[in-house]
Amino acid sequence: EDLPELPAHLQASHLDAQWQRCVTGRFRRNKRSTVISVLLGTFGWRYPAILVIFTFWLASLTTFPVLTRALFAWYDSDDDPWRGYALAVAIVASYLLNCNAACQWYQQTTQLGYEFRGTVAALVCRRVLRLAAQDPQKELALNLMQVDAERLYVLAQLGHLPWTALMVLIMSLCYLIQYEGIWLAVVAITVVLATVLLQTALMRAAAPMRRRMQQLSDQRLALLAQVLGAIKTLKMYNWTDAFGKRLQQHRSAEVWSAALYLTLRGLSSTLSFCSPVIAMVAALAVLRNEGEDLSPGRVFLIYTVVGLVRAPLGGVAMGASAIVDGWAASQRLQAFIAPGGQFD
């Protein structure tokens, strides 16, 4: 009784009604639709709102370098103090608008992820009810509802991060060309792109490890279900140790694959967070080598421009991982929910 009531649009009955409306209009024309196309067709109406919020977020982010440069120009000119106060207030207001847009953006994508996860879990349950009592596919249902549905939730929440980082990277490049020239911009962006390419290579190397871990997890769960289903027989013939060793072997291989995957993912995340700092140091080294004046205002402006991509690039690894995991999960769900490529 103390638990909060589930919102109406996330209740099973409401999700099932939305699913039925989508089925009626979509599958009469094309029964070979994929799970992803069904989810987007049912809940894709949220994306226009997400796009509007993203526009405000990007607009507030682009004002930081402009306002920072204007503030240091005012400081050097010793102009009217009220202009400096106005610039400071504008910087704070821009930051607050950026934070509010980011929170709204996160709320909308999280809501979309909840709807994806709830709908997929309902579809898996719906498919299980149509299977025979002894169908071996039933052993995969729990793993699909717990793991793969959660990965689609993460995909809806984080899948946009690589494209966001690309747009912010282009914006930062334009600022660097305008403020410091094309040579310094090329140096800074080359360093950033080199780290991004290295991240991509690490994530591509991690993708087979992720798939291997999923296969081993399915095998272990299937074996565990068989053991629990015949536990009395195993105890009667004293086979528990033999099957326990088999379970332990499956678990050890699964943990090893998970360790390799998480190691590669951790290296990719480390590069994401360090990339803007490395690019800024490289840019300052180029200016120092050319004998340029490194005034506090100039250094802070370069730091501000390059720092714009720090948070978006920090999410590239998470976004790429979410896309890889979400795609693998959608394929597994497609094979289970729509065997033979058709929904029942």
Q: Which tens digits make up the pLDDT trace of 186-206?
A: 888 788 778 777 877 887 787
Model confidence at 143: pLDDT above 50? yes
3-state secondary structure of 313: helix
Q: Give the pLDDT mean for 146-172.
A: 84
Model confidence at 32: pLDDT above 70? no
Tokens (6 digits) for 64: 């930081």
- Taking the C-alpha atoms of residue 5 and residue 300, their distance in angstroms, rounded to an integer, is 49
Model confidence at 16: pLDDT above 70? no
Count of CB atoms within 10 A of residue 185's CB?
20
Confidence band, pLDDT 50/70/90 cuts, at residue 14: low
- Taking the C-alpha atoms of residue 295 and residue 286, their distance in angstroms, rounded to an integer, is 15
Q: What is the pLDDT of residue 127?
A: 78
Q: Give the pLDDT mean for 113-119.
A: 83
| Average pLDDT, rounded, for the chain | 77
3-state secondary structure of 6: coil
Model confidence at 305: pLDDT above 60? yes
Tokens (6 digits) for 63: 């004002």
Model confidence at 3: pLDDT above 50? no
Q: What is the pLDDT of residue 42?
A: 74
Closest by alpha carbon to 269, among 205, 204, 328, 320? 320
- Taking the C-alpha atoms of residue 283 and residue 305, their distance in angstroms, rounded to an integer, is 11
> Is this model's pTM higher than 0.75 or not?
no
Q: Give the pLDDT mean for 154-165.
A: 84
Count of CB atoms within 10 A of residue 332's CB?
20
Is 167 within 8 Å of 58 (Cβ atoms)?
A: yes
Confidence band, pLDDT 50/70/90 cuts, at residue 296: confident
Model confidence at 28: pLDDT above 70? no
Q: What is the pLDDT of residue 136?
A: 65
Q: Which tens digits make up the pLDDT trace of 249-283?
A: 878 888 888 888 888 888 877 777 777 778 878 88
Is 124 within 8 Å of 333 (Cβ atoms)?
A: yes
Confidence band, pLDDT 50/70/90 cuts, at residue 210: confident
Most confident of 94-108, 181-195, 246-260: 94-108
End-to-end CA distance of the chain: 37
Is 274 within 8 Å of 313 (Cβ atoms)?
A: no
Model confidence at 181: pLDDT above 70? yes
- Taking the C-alpha atoms of residue 191 and residue 275, their distance in angstroms, rounded to an integer, is 7
Q: Give the pLDDT mean for 311-315.
A: 70
Confidence band, pLDDT 50/70/90 cuts, at residue 335: confident
Is 280 within 8 Å of 303 (Cβ atoms)?
A: yes
3-state secondary structure of 10: helix
Judge residue 82's burial from the number of C-beta atoms within 10 Å of its C-beta, 0-12 exposed, 13-18 middle, 19 or more buried: exposed
- CA-to-CA separations, 252 to 39, 60, 104, 244, in angstroms, rounded: 36, 49, 42, 12
Q: Which of 21-35, 51-65, 216-230, 291-305 has the lowest mean pLDDT?
A: 21-35
Q: What is the pLDDT of residue 166?
A: 83
- Taking the C-alpha atoms of residue 256 and residue 216, their distance in angstroms, rounded to an integer, is 10
